Amino acid sequence: MAFVITAPCKNELAAECVEVCPVDCIEKGEDQYFIDPAICIDCGACQAVCPVEAIYYEEDLRPEEEVYLEKAKEFFSNR
Ligand code: SF4
Protein backbone atom coordinates (compact mmCIF):
# COMPACT_ATOMS: atom_id res chain seq x y z
CA MET A 1 0.00 0.00 0.00
CA ALA A 2 1.03 3.59 -0.54
CA PHE A 3 -0.14 7.16 -0.56
CA VAL A 4 -1.01 8.57 -3.98
CA ILE A 5 -0.89 12.11 -5.41
CA THR A 6 -3.96 12.97 -7.50
CA ALA A 7 -5.29 15.67 -9.86
CA PRO A 8 -5.21 18.76 -7.60
CA CYS A 9 -1.39 18.57 -7.72
CA LYS A 10 -1.40 19.34 -11.42
CA ASN A 11 -0.12 22.85 -12.01
CA GLU A 12 -0.05 23.44 -8.24
CA LEU A 13 3.24 21.65 -7.62
CA ALA A 14 3.46 23.00 -4.09
CA ALA A 15 6.18 20.50 -3.09
CA GLU A 16 5.66 20.68 0.68
CA CYS A 17 5.28 16.89 0.50
CA VAL A 18 8.82 16.47 -0.83
CA GLU A 19 10.25 18.28 2.19
CA VAL A 20 8.50 16.13 4.78
CA CYS A 21 8.81 12.63 3.29
CA PRO A 22 11.12 10.64 5.60
CA VAL A 23 12.11 8.16 2.90
CA ASP A 24 12.55 10.65 0.06
CA CYS A 25 10.18 8.87 -2.30
CA ILE A 26 8.39 11.85 -3.90
CA GLU A 27 9.64 13.12 -7.25
CA LYS A 28 8.50 15.71 -9.76
CA GLY A 29 7.00 14.52 -13.02
CA GLU A 30 6.05 16.61 -16.03
CA ASP A 31 2.95 18.22 -14.49
CA GLN A 32 2.62 16.75 -11.00
CA TYR A 33 4.58 15.09 -8.21
CA PHE A 34 4.55 11.31 -7.81
CA ILE A 35 5.02 9.01 -4.81
CA ASP A 36 7.02 5.84 -5.43
CA PRO A 37 4.60 3.16 -4.18
CA ALA A 38 7.44 0.67 -3.77
CA ILE A 39 9.19 2.88 -1.21
CA CYS A 40 6.36 4.78 0.58
CA ILE A 41 6.01 3.67 4.20
CA ASP A 42 2.44 4.99 4.63
CA CYS A 43 3.39 7.52 7.30
CA GLY A 44 0.90 10.14 6.06
CA ALA A 45 3.23 13.11 6.57
CA CYS A 46 2.81 14.28 2.98
CA GLN A 47 -0.98 14.18 3.18
CA ALA A 48 -0.96 16.39 6.26
CA VAL A 49 0.98 19.19 4.57
CA CYS A 50 -0.53 19.18 1.06
CA PRO A 51 -2.23 22.59 0.60
CA VAL A 52 -4.59 21.33 -2.11
CA GLU A 53 -5.58 17.98 -0.54
CA ALA A 54 -4.22 16.03 -3.49
CA ILE A 55 -2.86 13.10 -1.49
CA TYR A 56 -4.86 10.04 -0.49
CA TYR A 57 -4.15 6.64 0.96
CA GLU A 58 -4.37 4.04 -1.79
CA GLU A 59 -7.43 2.38 -0.26
CA ASP A 60 -9.24 5.72 0.02
CA LEU A 61 -8.89 6.64 -3.66
CA ARG A 62 -12.13 7.25 -5.51
CA PRO A 63 -12.47 4.95 -8.55
CA GLU A 64 -11.72 7.80 -10.96
CA GLU A 65 -8.50 8.56 -9.08
CA GLU A 66 -7.07 5.04 -9.21
CA VAL A 67 -5.41 5.94 -12.49
CA TYR A 68 -3.00 8.11 -10.46
CA LEU A 69 -1.58 5.05 -8.73
CA GLU A 70 -0.96 3.50 -12.13
CA LYS A 71 0.68 6.73 -13.33
CA ALA A 72 2.99 6.69 -10.30
CA LYS A 73 3.98 3.07 -10.89
CA GLU A 74 4.66 3.84 -14.54
CA PHE A 75 6.67 6.96 -13.67
CA PHE A 76 9.03 5.05 -11.39
CA SER A 77 9.25 1.95 -13.60
CA ASN A 78 10.71 4.10 -16.37
CA ARG A 79 13.71 5.26 -14.37
FE1 SF4 B 1 6.58 9.76 2.02
FE2 SF4 B 1 5.08 9.16 4.17
FE3 SF4 B 1 3.98 10.39 2.08
FE4 SF4 B 1 4.72 7.85 1.86
S5 SF4 B 1 3.10 8.65 3.19
S6 SF4 B 1 5.12 9.48 0.36
S7 SF4 B 1 6.55 7.82 3.13
S8 SF4 B 1 5.58 11.23 3.42
Condensed to tens digits (0 to 9), the pLDDT of residues 40-57 reads 999 999 999 999 999 999
For 1-10, write each residue's pLDDT tens digit. 999 999 999 9
For 27-44, write each residue's pLDDT tens digit. 999 999 999 999 999 999
Whole-number Å distance, alpha carbon 24 to ligand 1 midpoint, is 8
For ligand 1, whether the C-beta of 21 sits within 6 Å is: yes
**Is residue 79 pLDDT above 80, yes or no?**
no
68's enclosing H/E stretch is: helix 67-77
**Is residue 78 pLDDT above 80, yes or no?**
no
For ligand 1, whether the C-beta of 19 sits within 6 Å is: no
The domains located in the chain, with CATH, are 3-77 (3.30.70.20)
10 and 69 Cβ atoms separated by less than 8 Å: no
Whole-number Å distance, alpha carbon 2 to ligand 1 midpoint, is 8
pLDDT of 1 reads 94
Measured from the Cβ of residue 3, the count of other Cβ atoms closer than 10 Å reads 27
